[in-house]
């Protein structure tokens, strides 16, 4: 099978890539079947960054050559893929975007768990239920990331945030009840002192 992939050339901190048709079993800098263009990521502004031999690339694609992911992006942006390849490329890009959104939701859930744990150390409320809910939400988010299921990840992150909010509310209520109890005990202490004096 032939693969269309990049071969790194250039020097340290100045990469330059050739885009080649190469046998899939050949190592990265091995024997090249055909040079199909180049990519210069550090080209000065105003100079060409990518040069592709479009007719030769279309010929290799029609013969069944498989582009690497990076080359697939280049070809997709330059509209060199056939309909089937373009559909597969767009589906992969959509799945990648969904995974990024899921990872953001996972980060929200993890931040909520950290806040629950730090609040639990100084809180009068019991954090066990909120911690369990946040941990379950993180597990659900991780599952959603692998499948790119954005809605599930967002729902799980919302559940973790809701657990944090309920813990904050319970903490406020516990502190208010403690303040009331302290106020009542100080009033009782004052009235017992007055009665002892009288």
Nearest to 98 by CA among 154, 44, 52, 136: 154
**CA quadruple 175, 177, 178, 179: dihedral positive or negative?**
positive
Same domain? For 110 and 72 the reply is no
Model confidence over 55-100: pLDDT tens digits?
A: 999 999 999 899 998 999 999 998 888 888 889 889 888 888 888 8
Q: Which residue has the higher pLDDT, 8 or 133?
A: 8
**Would residue 17 count as lying in a domain?**
yes
Phi, psi angles (nearest 5°) of residue 43: -65, 140
Q: Tokens 């208010």: give the residue.
A: 176
Same domain? For 109 and 182 the reply is yes
Write out the residue range of the structural domain in which residue 115 sits.
98-192
Task: Answer yes or no: is pLDDT of 193 > 70.
Answer: no
Contact by Cβ (8 Å): 177, 185: no
Model confidence over 11-64: pLDDT tens digits?
A: 899 999 999 999 988 886 788 999 999 999 998 888 889 999 999 999 999 998
What is the predicted pLDDT for the residue at 196? Answer: 58
* Structural domains counted in the chain: 2
**Would residue 93 count as lying in a domain?**
no
Q: Which of 81, 107, 133 is a domain's end point?
A: 81
Same domain? For 52 and 105 the reply is no
Contact by Cβ (8 Å): 39, 97: no
Q: Which of 81, 113, 137 is a domain's end point?
A: 81
Helix (H) or strand (E) holding 36: strand 34-39
Tell me, what CATH number does 75's domain have? 3.30.1320.10
**Would residue 90 count as lying in a domain?**
no
Model confidence over 127-151: pLDDT tens digits?
A: 778 788 888 888 888 888 877 888 8
Burial class (CB in 10 A: 0-12, 13-18, 19+), 157: buried
**Would residue 91 count as lying in a domain?**
no
What is the predicted pLDDT for the residue at 112? Answer: 85
Question: Which pairing describes strands 34-39 and 14-23: parallel, antiparallel, or unpaired?
Answer: antiparallel
Model confidence over 159-189: pLDDT tens digits?
A: 888 888 888 887 787 777 777 877 777 777 6
**Would residue 154 count as lying in a domain?**
yes
**CA quadruple 50, 56, 61, 67: dihedral positive or negative?**
negative
Query: For the chain, what percent of residues have pLDDT higher than 70?
Result: 90
Same domain? For 104 and 146 the reply is yes
Once rounded to an integer, what is the mean pLDDT over residues 105-131? 79
What is the predicted pLDDT for the residue at 35? Answer: 93
Once rounded to an integer, what is the mean pLDDT over residues 91-120? 86
Which pTM does this prediction carry?
Answer: 0.61
């Amino acid at each position: 099978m032939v693969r269309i992939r990049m071969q790194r050339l250039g020097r340290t901190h100045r990469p330059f890539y050739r885009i080649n048709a190469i046998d899939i079993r050949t190592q990265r800098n091995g024997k090249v079947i055909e040079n199909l263009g180049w990519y210069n990521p550090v080209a000065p502004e105003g100079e060409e960054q990518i040069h592709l031999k479009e007719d030769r690339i279309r010929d290799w694609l029609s013969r069944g050559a498989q582009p690497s992911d990076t080359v697939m992006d280049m070809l997709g942006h330059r509209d060199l893929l056939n309909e089937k390849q373009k559909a597969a490329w767009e589906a992969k890009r959509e799945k990648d975007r969904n995974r990024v959104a899921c990872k953001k939701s996972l980060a929200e859930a993890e931040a909520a768990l950290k806040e629950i744990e730090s609040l639990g150390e100084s809180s009068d409320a019991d954090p066990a239920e909120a911690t369990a809910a946040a941990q379950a939400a993180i597990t659900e988010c991780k599952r959603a990331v692998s499948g790119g299921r954005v809605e599930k990840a967002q729902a799980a992150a919302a559940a973790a945030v809701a657990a944090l909010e309920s813990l904050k509310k319970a903490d406020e209520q516990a502190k208010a009840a403690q303040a009331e109890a302290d106020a009542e005990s100080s009033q009782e202490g004052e009235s017992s002192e007055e009665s002892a004096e009288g």
